[in-house]
Structure 1
Amino acid sequence: MNDSRRLGAMVDTDRLRGYFEGEDERRRVTRALFDEGASGYDHAESLTALGSGAWYRRQVLQRAGLREGMTLLDVAAGTGLVTVAGHALTGPSGRVIALDPSPGMLAELKKKLSVETLEAYAEAIPLPDAEVDFLSMGYALRHVGDLDRAFAEYRRVLKPGGQVCLMEISRPASRLQRALLGFHIGAVVPALARLSGRHADIKRLWRYYGDTIEAALAPQPILDALQRAGFTDVKCSVTLGMFREYTARKP
């Protein structure tokens, strides 16, 4: 198996080799990074959002078909930014499950919401078959170790007719745009967080976050992986040239 498949959505393995070698080390390193940066994540994300904040997440989920009373699984939930939007849409009659491998991130999520949480990876979801109506994932495809295994799990836990909605930041088309985005995420956001007097520990995580955007797969291989997993109605739309929404349905 080549490096690009083993490291999931990451294809420029040389760019990420300074962080880890192989899947086992990737999991250890990234969990430590997210645990370390958990308390400052929301503040840094608000500085990074570039117009894709809470209103955007809610609109994406609505467009993809999330409705009141549904059972939602939010994969790689982190501090719960997408989970909060999903919880509001599913309402009191719905059920929300948040999954993430980082206990530090889940601890921050629990400060916002009282929902079911699972400490686990996308490639091995500890839920029965056909358990959920809707599966979301916000800006985390770049951190998945094996897309084929993850998407197979997504299809397994969805009920027939269930919907998947994956939000992701894609690499801008031009070198100038990529350079500006990298500078904003890797330098400006950590500096602003430090000047605010909060969460200087976000710097390492946000440098890694920017590098994974630069190293991420183009949209077509992601669409191909969803189709290989057996999803139908596979689509991708883009907002502001970089915020992508991948949607698909389990037959």
Structure 2
Amino acid sequence: MISEHNQIESTTKLVPHRALTEFYPAPAQRAGFVSDLFDRAARDYDRMSGVIAFGTDRQYRRSALQRAGLSPVMRALDVATGTGLVAQAALDLGIAPANLIGIDPSLGMLAENRRRRSIELVQGLGERLPFQDSAFDFVVMGYALRHVEDLAKLFAEFHRVLRSPGRVLLLEITRPSSRVGLALMRFYLGKFLPLLTRLGTRRHDSARLLEYYWATIEECVPPAAILSSFAAAGFSAVQRKSSANILSEYVAVKK
């Protein structure tokens, strides 16, 4: 599946959030910081994901994939697969391991993924997918939109590797619109969980990842910008479904 291919250069760059210089000194250091942070926190990632979602994350991922139209006969790509939580949900729904590929820039996260399941795993970026045109029926990305460098290029690559009428599912956490909701999430994700992680694991890296995780949520571009970027990349039937206006499911179809 890995091959020479024609990557699409986006004409209008759209960054998911401002440079978070409280975590890295300069924008050019962002990608290295993010990859290193995930490498060092990989062994705690699944546990942290479960705590963030109060233990409902596994069922939610399966349900979201079903709502987006994933079926066992599809060839699927899990972008920013990490430790494989979304990939496992796809396998649970009947996707054959041979029809599922995961890609992620973090070797640490991929190592954790590889320990748990036997699917093809590739180190790489969503903005530069090392796959042929029209190679997949379904592309999914779970909670990693905030960690890419250019949404326009990411969505152009999604469009390139999908065959028509392929589908995209993008899962994200959206900043609450209400003051009360924002204050509660800022405390829970930005303060309480990092402190709990430091006390429970004694590992600073995992706590730092949670702090960074919240900062990217708080600073992320709004849903309207994400929907517009999908449309600009050539997708149709672009829509966002949400739970409590926080858990967002973006779905788009290649014409």
For the pair 1:8 / 2:15, whether they are aligned, the reply is yes
Aligned CA distance change for structure 1 residues 174 and 117 (closer, same or farther; 3 Å): same
The CA distance in 2 between the partners of 1:242 and 1:19, in whole Å, is: 24
Name the counterpart of 1:186. 190
For the pair 1:53 / 2:68, whether they are aligned, the reply is no
Q: Which amino acid aligns with 2:149?
A: G
SS in 2 for 1:128: coil
Name the counterpart of 1:206. 210
Contact 1:23–1:145 (CA under 8 A) maintained in structure 2: no
Name the counterpart of 2:32. 28
Aligned CA distance change for structure 1 residues 21 and 146 (closer, same or farther; 3 Å): farther
Name the counterpart of 1:151. 155
Structure 1-normalised TM-score? 0.91
Q: Which amino acid aligns with 1:99?
A: I
Matches within 5 A, 1:81-100: 81-92=85-96, 95-100=99-104
Aligned CA distance change for structure 1 residues 250 and 70 (closer, same or farther; 3 Å): same
The CA distance in 1 between the partners of 2:173 and 2:56, in whole Å, is: 10
Name the counterpart of 2:165. 161
Aligned CA distance change for structure 1 residues 105 and 206 (closer, same or farther; 3 Å): same
Contact 1:133–1:163 (CA under 8 A) maintained in structure 2: yes
Aligned CA distance change for structure 1 residues 132 and 19 (closer, same or farther; 3 Å): same
The CA distance in 2 between the partners of 1:171 and 1:22, in whole Å, is: 24
Per-residue CA distance 1:66-121 (angstroms, 9 max, x = gap): 01121110011111111110122243376111111000011111121110111111
What stretches of structure 1 of length at least 5 have no aligned partner? none
Structure 1 vs Structure 2 CA RMSD:
1.8
Q: Which amino acid aligns with 2:221?
A: L
- What is the deviation of 1:240? 2.4
For the pair 1:73 / 2:74, whether they are aligned, the reply is no
Q: Percent same amino acid at aligned positions?
A: 41
Which contiguous aligned blocks of 4+ residues in structure 1 show a shift greater than 4 angstroms? Answer: 197-200
- What is the deviation of 1:201? 3.0
The CA distance in 1 between the partners of 2:165 and 2:196, in whole Å, is: 44
Aligned length: 244
